[in-house]
Amino acid sequence: MNQYEPVIGLEVHVQLKTESKIFCACRTAFGAEPNQNTCPVCFGLPGSLPVLNERVLELAIKVGLALDCEISPKIKFDRKNYFYPDLPKAYQISQYDMPVSKSGYLIIRTTAPHPNPLPRQIEGGQAQGEGRVRVLQERKIGITRAHLEEDAGKLLHEGITDGSWVDYNRAGVPLLEIVSEPDIRSPDEAYDYLMALKSILQYLDVSDCNMEEGSLRCDANISVRKKRDEKLGTKVEIKNLNSFRAVQKAIAFEIERQTGAVEGGETIRQETRLWNEGKQETISMRSKEFAHDYRYFPEPDLVPFSVPATKIEDIRKSIPELPFSRMGRFQSEYGLSEYDAKVLIADKKWADFFEECIKEKVNPKLVSNWLQTDTAGLLNERKIEISAAKITAKTFAGLIKLIEKGTISGKIAKEVLPMMLDTGNTAEAIVKEKGMEQVTDVGALEQAIDRVIQENPGPAGQVREGKKQAMGFLVGKVMQLTGGKANPKMVNELLAKKLS
Amino acid sequence: MESKINIDQVAKLARLSLKPEEKGKLSKDLENILAYVDLLQELDTSKVEPTSHVLPIENVFRKDKVIESGVRNFVLDHAPKRDGKFFKVPKVIEGL
Ligand SMILES: [Zn+2]
């Protein structure tokens, strides 16, 4: 049996949503021409002076408050010194000992197994239509600190053989680095932590959280130790993680590698490793001898900051309902299972869409099911976001109403939904145009039933003799005959009456 | 007396290549500076608030507003090596 456990901490860099950079007036927008968004300040030219962007500090405090951190009464910036061509000044303005916020936590809900979960264990609801029961456990992940820093430029190696190109557009873009405590115990839990954190950042509207554009990045620190050992093992840092799935896979790989090494009597070297997506493995970076000697010292070009309590209270008031409490409300107010609520709240756009639908007075559980299964699948296939889809909360609620009223069956609704997504037409218009209304006319149904009984004397006889299994076959035949439009409940009742 | 200064490490971090005779002289200079700091450390500063800035001011901000600097070409022209809209540097790929 495996006697080792992993200890994982994550460092997340998130780009704060501002128009201009952290210390200068250059644009932050993605996709500009190389070196277009630059000025003497972010180039670090002599005589230039950085000045803090007010909005950056507000957004950083907002995140700190949402993660239950203490907001530092005194905030200062420091220089982190190292030489690298993506760093024009040969130092990065960051925060060393007086970060914006510290000592917070994030509660995640996860299905990942854990040796010591919090006492409260919640029974996960059943995701309807899937028949799987998922047990979610609450886990508290500590937040060590969240500090501000400027991003570096970008080095490009592709398409050039005799050197590297440098683009300084990102130099000076505002980043908030959120450092977790080493409280994470599995790759799945790391994934759930990242999803929960991203969800909060999106609810707060402080970042686009777009990994492809570099507005969200993650490094992982991993060590292994004997179970029940208090002391931490030697940690290894993993970089170059380009997606949450990559984080999950790299951690899993690293746990195996380190456990194997320790069991084989090797000692783990403290180092930085890179995740190689192609090979699905971590590889050692050639470590530089004094790589970690950053010689931090206070940034003399920036004054210290202290945020008045009234200002902090104003920012606190601007925090919207966060995913965690929205999840609870979805369960109590709409009667959703915990699992359904968790899936719906994860992405604010979906949760907003859901609540817009509910305003049309339709059954919340029905809306939740139709959103999570069919709609999510169809949008995925079409690679469009719900906010950009041709379907609106109002037209979607229209579809649900037709199902509730029995105008169309669920089967027909599955045909109507993609048409709505592709054309933007209402469910009512599509159903009417295609003649898809459910047949509820007793006369018409009886006609179909009589024909089915006549054509299938065997099964009909079996039902008459009390063998109920044959009923399903006959109902199916009636549905087939009516092009799926017959009301299945009525067909059942009428068939039973006729064959009794 | 053994030197408190690892001059090779200091030189490496500062990207300086020093001749042997310079190493000796600079070690001595740096030691003098450290000795002076030690002298300062003897002062009782327990009632003095720590400061990281020479002026007694705080909370200097700018608004989140974009201003185009228009300096790109000027700066690119003055770079040691320019390649179109990029700066060009010797090949660096960390870790590979
Ligand atoms: Zn700038």
Nearest to B9 among A168, A290, A298 (CB): A290
Domain count, chain B: 1
CB A170, CB A132: distance < 8 Å:
no
Residues A209-228 have pLDDT tens digits of 988 888 999 999 999 998 88
- Residue spans per domain, chain A: 4-310, 347-434, 442-498
Q: Which of A28, A100, A303, A311 to mutate to test the interface with B (most CBs of B within 10 A)?
A: A303
Residues A380-398 have pLDDT tens digits of 888 888 888 889 999 999 9
User: What pLDDT, on a 0 to 100 scale, did the predictor assign at position A269?
Assistant: 87
As a whole number, mean pLDDT of residues A296-306 equals 93
User: What pLDDT, on a 0 to 100 scale, did the predictor assign at position A118?
Assistant: 44
What percent of chain A shows pLDDT beyond 90?
Answer: 56
In a domain, B30, yes or no: yes
Would you say residue A120 has pLDDT above 80?
no
User: What pLDDT, on a 0 to 100 scale, did the predictor assign at position B52?
Assistant: 74
**Of residues A398, A393, A404, A394, the one with CA closest to residue A365:** A404
Count chain A–chain B contacts defined by CB atoms under 8 A.
133
In a domain, B62, yes or no: no
Range of the domain at B12: 7-42
- pLDDT band for position A43 (cuts 50, 70, 90): very high
- pLDDT band for position A481 (cuts 50, 70, 90): confident
As a whole number, mean pLDDT of residues A400-421 equals 87
Question: Which has the minimum average pLDDT: A122-126, A272-276, A290-294, A373-377?
Answer: A122-126
User: What pLDDT, on a 0 to 100 scale, did the predictor assign at position A286?
Assistant: 62
CA dihedral A31, A37, A43, A49 (to 10 degrees): -130
In this structure, which CATH number among 1.10.238.10, 1.20.1050.10, 1.10.357.10, 1.10.10.410 belongs to the domain A442-498? 1.10.10.410
CA dihedral A188, A191, A193, A196 (to 10 degrees): -120
In a domain, B33, yes or no: yes
Residues 6+ apart with CB under 8 A from A124: A111, A133, A134, A135, A136, A337, A338, A339
Which of A179 and A84 is assigned the larger pLDDT? A179
User: What pLDDT, on a 0 to 100 scale, did the predictor assign at position B40?
Assistant: 92
Reported ipTM: the value is: 0.85
In a domain, B94, yes or no: no
Residues A73-116 have pLDDT tens digits of 999 999 999 888 999 999 999 999 999 999 999 999 887 765 54
Mean pLDDT, chain A, as a whole number? 88
User: What pLDDT, on a 0 to 100 scale, did the predictor assign at position A435?
Assistant: 76
Kindly determine whether residue B53 and residue A304, on different chains, have CB atoms separated by under 8 Å.
yes
As a whole number, mean pLDDT of residues A325-334 equals 93
For residues A216 and A221, what is the distance between their CA atoms, to the nearest angstrom?
17
In a domain, B14, yes or no: yes
User: What pLDDT, on a 0 to 100 scale, did the predictor assign at position A119?
Assistant: 40
C-alpha A114 to ligand 1 mean position (Å)? 46
In a domain, B24, yes or no: yes
User: What pLDDT, on a 0 to 100 scale, did the predictor assign at position A498?
Assistant: 84
The pTM of this model reads 0.81
Interface of B with A in 48-77 (CB under 8 A): 52-55, 57-69, 71-72, 75-76
HSE value, Cβ hemisphere, 13 Å, CA-based, for A51: 13
**Of residues A406, A410, A376, the one with CA closest to residue A391:** A376
As a whole number, mean pLDDT of residues A173-194 equals 96
Would you say residue B44 has pLDDT above 60?
yes
Residues 6+ apart with CB under 8 A from A54: B61, B62, B63, B64
Nearest to B53 among A38, A168, A303 (CB): A303
User: What pLDDT, on a 0 to 100 scale, did the predictor assign at position A214?
Assistant: 85
CA distances from A488 to A434, A448, A449, A495 (A): 20, 13, 12, 10
In a domain, B12, yes or no: yes
Would you say residue A129 has pLDDT above 70?
no
In a domain, B70, yes or no: no
As a whole number, mean pLDDT of residues A290-295 equals 70
Q: Which residues on chain B are in Cβ contact (under 8 Å) with A56?
A: 64
User: What pLDDT, on a 0 to 100 scale, did the predictor assign at position A228?
Assistant: 83
The string over A341-373, giving b where at least 16 C-beta atoms fall within 10 Å of a residue's C-beta and e elsewhere, is: bbbbbbbbebbebbbebbeeebbbebbbbbbbe
User: What pLDDT, on a 0 to 100 scale, did the predictor assign at position A432?
Assistant: 82
